[in-house]
Amino acid sequence: MAQILNKLKWRYATKKFDSTKKIPDDDLNTLLEATRLSASSYGLQPYHVFVVENEEIRAKLRPFSWGQSQITDASHLILFASKTGFNGEMVDRYLENVSHTRKIPADALKGYGDFMKSKLMDLSDADKEIWASKQVYLALGNVMTVAAELEIDTCPMEGFEPEKYNELLGLADKGLNAAVALAVGYRSSEDETQHLPKVRYAKEELISYI
């Protein structure tokens, strides 16, 4: 237990990455598998994950990201894009997977499918987007914790223009919206932020027992 807490104390939102250091394939695959295994509401995973490796594309994204160097200098850029305006097909596809994986007849899952659709399909498009983006952040937090355990640096990034990302990457045509980006790699020795004390509220201020 102490080890994971020490890793979380070690991590910080890295502002300057060492562009010469790349994450080994095994470690990158571990991060992506951690993303895949993350919890989500009903298990629906209403998002898609893009690993942006192409240097030209990352260079084009940087101006739409407040010019932040993490976009181009990190080993990899992971983009989480939430589903927009989804319909019952998303639930049906998930239930097909449940049926196949758990060897359960599809008919036995119909009631659960109808329940999920009753809770999700009547939402407005705006509320659907809010719900889907919440699921993205569950995955984001999970992969950041795993990265810390591997001593891989991360910087979660909302500081970008989603509509420009959507346009450049063709996300809208796929029914997706750029929700949050995660720069992953290794901190530069020149990043002064790493030497700053971590600022968090004391447990007594943050947590209450009822």
| DSSP category for residue 187 | B
Grade residue 1 by pLDDT with cuts at 50, 70 and 90: low
Mean pLDDT of 4-14: 97
Kindly tell me if the per-residue pLDDT of 87 is higher than 70.
yes
| DSSP category for residue 17 | B
Mean pLDDT of 132-153: 98
Cα-flanking dihedrals φ and ψ of residue 109, to 5°?
-100, 0
* Contact status, residue 76 vs residue 55, Cβ threshold 8 Å: no
Check residue 4 and give its pLDDT.
95
Instruction: Pull the structure tokens for residue 142.
Output: 């999970």
| DSSP category for residue 196 | S
Mean pLDDT of 1-10: 91
Check residue 2 and give its pLDDT.
82
Grade residue 28 by pLDDT with cuts at 50, 70 and 90: very high
CATH topology of domain 2-206: NADH Oxidase (3.40.109)
Domain boundaries, the chain: 2-206
Compute the Cα dihedral for 27, 31, 32, 36 and give only its sign: positive
* Contact status, residue 79 vs residue 52, Cβ threshold 8 Å: yes
Check residue 33 and give its pLDDT.
98
Instruction: Pull the structure tokens for residue 51.
Output: 């690993």
Mean pLDDT of 157-165: 98
Check residue 183 and give its pLDDT.
98
Mean pLDDT of 182-186: 98
* Average pLDDT over all residues of the chain: 97
